[in-house]
C-alpha cells in the first residue's frame, strides 16, 4: 500500500511481517518480524485527513495490517528527528574555525 502523500510504502508478508519503507529509495523505516504470525492479507495507511491526523498524534504515519485470521493491528511510524538548518550551519562554521586554528598551531606562519 502507498500512503496518500506517496512518501511511504507499506508491505505485508506471507510470514506475517509488516514493514514501512520510503517510497522513492526503499529505505526501511519500520519492521516488525511476524507481527501477525500468519499471512498478512491487506495493509492500508490511515488517511491524511483531519480524523486521520487525530489518530496519528505525533507520529509520521500509521499503517493498518490485516491477517488471514481477521486480526487487525495498527503500526505507528515515529516521527524522524532532523537537525535544524541553523544548527547545521553553526556546526560547519565551528569546524572551519577549528581547522584554521589547528593549521595555525601546526604551521605558525600559516596566516
Assess whether 70 and 45 both reside in one domain.
yes
pTM strictly above 0.85: no
Backbone angles phi and psi of 90, in degrees to 5: -65, -40
Q: pLDDT tens digits for the chain (111 residues)?
A: 898 888 899 999 999 999 999 999 998 999 999 889 889 999 999 887 777 777 777 788 889 999 998 899 999 888 877 778 888 899 999 999 999 889 888 888 766
C-alpha distance from residue 2 to each of 42, 44, 45, 63 (Å): 12, 8, 7, 10
Domain region containing 94: 83-110
Assess whether 88 and 73 both reside in one domain.
no
Domain count, the chain: 2
Classify residue 32: in a domain, yes or no. yes
Classify residue 1: in a domain, yes or no. no
Classify residue 101: in a domain, yes or no. yes
Amino acid at each position: 500500500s502507498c500512503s496518500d502523500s506517496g512518501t511511504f510504502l507499506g508491505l505485508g508478508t506471507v510470514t506475517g511481517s509488516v514493514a514501512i519503507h520510503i517510497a522513492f529509495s526503499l529505505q526501511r523505516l519500520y519492521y516488525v518480524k511476524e507481527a501477525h504470525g500468519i499471512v498478512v492479507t491487506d495493509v492500508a495507511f490511515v488517511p491524511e485527513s483531519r480524523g486521520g491526523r487525530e489518530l496519528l498524534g505525533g507520529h509520521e504515519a500509521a499503517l493498518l495490517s490485516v491477517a488471514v485470521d481477521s486480526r487487525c493491528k495498527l503500526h505507528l511510524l515515529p516521527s524522524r528527528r532532523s537537525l535544524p538548518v541553523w544548527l547545521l550551519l553553526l556546526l560547519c562554521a565551528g569546524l572551519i574555525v577549528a581547522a584554521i586554528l589547528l593549521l595555525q598551531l601546526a604551521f605558525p606562519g600559516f596566516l
